[in-house]
A and B are shown apart, each in its own frame.
Chain A
Amino acid sequence: MTPAQTATGDVPALRTATSLVVLAQSTYRTLQTNPAGGGATAVPVVRDLLAAAVVELGDARSALTSATTGAGGRAQTAPDPAYGSVVDAALPTVRTPADVVGLVLTLEDVLAQTLVADAAALSTPALRALALRLGSAAAARKATLLVVNSLLSAGRADLVVAPPDLASLPGGVGTVGFPDTRFPTAKAAPPEEGN
């Protein structure tokens, strides 16, 4: 592989990852305006998760944009088209906190898987480190969403509080946030998807 080929491959991957971040941040912001995400029927913990994710994804977007331009590419400002249509279809159906969590869980999962795939494939140590740092952050958000989703799906919104009543939490909550021994990458967006 020549350096020119390497640089050519990095930019589409970075732009695709950025497009997923753009979409996720936009979706979180939209959900903050939904009654079930940031309004009267919102679960406070979920509301806090949305707010924190918006900030983290903003930082991720800035870092990926810098990496893209540093690699000689143009900054990506558009959302991922493939998952954008998924979000467009899902947003009008969001009614409950469980709907909110389910939607962002899908986006965090594909974002994390894409960044993890990038972390093994990008051409420079600095880019790989960036991808893994951001991928791990997305994985952490995914884990928390899995925990919350398990409780909301079981009709136990009363247990989604901070701090939780540890004695009341089902034992399965202790492991539902990390279902895989090795983080999967089968759903990673192909590098050209958001380029």
Chain B
Amino acid sequence: MLSRRRVLLGSAVGLLGAGALAACSDAPPAAAPSAPPGSPAPTTTTTTRVPYVGDQRAVALCAATSALAASLYSGAVLAAGDGRLGQVPGVVTAFLAGAGAQHTEHAAAWNALLTAAGRPAVSGIPLTVESERRAALGRAAAPTDLLTLAVDVEAMVGGTVTARAAEFTDPGAAALAATLAPVAAMHGATASFLLGRPTGATPSAAGAPLGLDALTA
């Protein structure tokens, strides 16, 4: 077993190593020289770049999942304020804003691993489920619907990070996953309490963990 202190201080060595390797084998091609004036527009495209390899791909998935959670909560706070859901209690808005802020920080921490490895941070929310999750938010008709959505979001985030955590070969990524998944569980427990299920609400199918195939970057 690795030293707890060493592991939990974190290290991006593995990810950096993978990044360095990727830089040799999978780096984006240099920009093509400009076409001379008057030449026809190109009709072919270059090969699609795959920016993340190995652990990086799982880190990118976790970053995107955290970003989706943050974005959904931001949207939920806006919905809470526009009157569409009636009078939304302050405790619900506080939960959404607080949990969303932590997800924003989680996404930044995942992205910091990627950029430390010389890879691009995840841009936007490159996930196959994004539109469906936004539609679910759009269907919310009452404050408790926002909490039900939160139960699913936290199960999705926590499950995704937990599933990837065991597979990380990079100590820094493993340590980050270990300290972030429990926070998602705490968000979920809070949402469950507010919903009146203090021993835990059962998420719907939308709370299932995301696989690597959900990442479109």
Contacts and interface: CB of A to CB of B under 8 A. Distances in A.
Interface size class of A (residues with CB under 8 A): 35 or more
Q: Is the interface of A mostly helix, strand, loop or mixed?
A: helix
Contact of A52 (B96, B180, B195, B199): B199
Contacts of B192: 144
A40 interface: no
17 contacts: A45-B198, A120-B7, A121-B8, A122-B1, A128-B165, A135-B182, A139-B182, A140-B185, A144-B199, A166-B194, A169-B89, A174-B91, A174-B96, A181-B105, A181-B183, A183-B180, A183-B186
A116 B183 contact: no
Contact of A132 (B94, B162, B193, B195): B162
B99 interface: yes
Contacts of A81: none
B1 A117 contact: no
Interface of B: 1-4, 7-8, 87, 89-96, 98-99, 102, 105-106, 109, 143-144, 158, 162-163, 165-167, 171, 174-190, 192-200
Contact of B166 (A126, A163, A180): A126
A50 to B, nearest CB: 10
Contacts of A141: 189
B87 to A, nearest CB: 8
Contacts of B187: 143, 177-178
Interface of A: 1, 6, 9-10, 13, 45, 48-49, 52, 112, 116-117, 119-123, 125-126, 128-129, 131-133, 135-144, 147-148, 162-164, 166-167, 169-175, 177-178, 180-185, 188, 191
Given A13-B1, A166-B92, A132 B165 contact: yes
Contacts of A180: 183
Contact of B180 (A133, A148, A170, A182): A182
A116 to B, nearest CB: 5
A1 B106 contact: no
Contacts of A191: 1, 4
A123 to B, nearest CB: 6
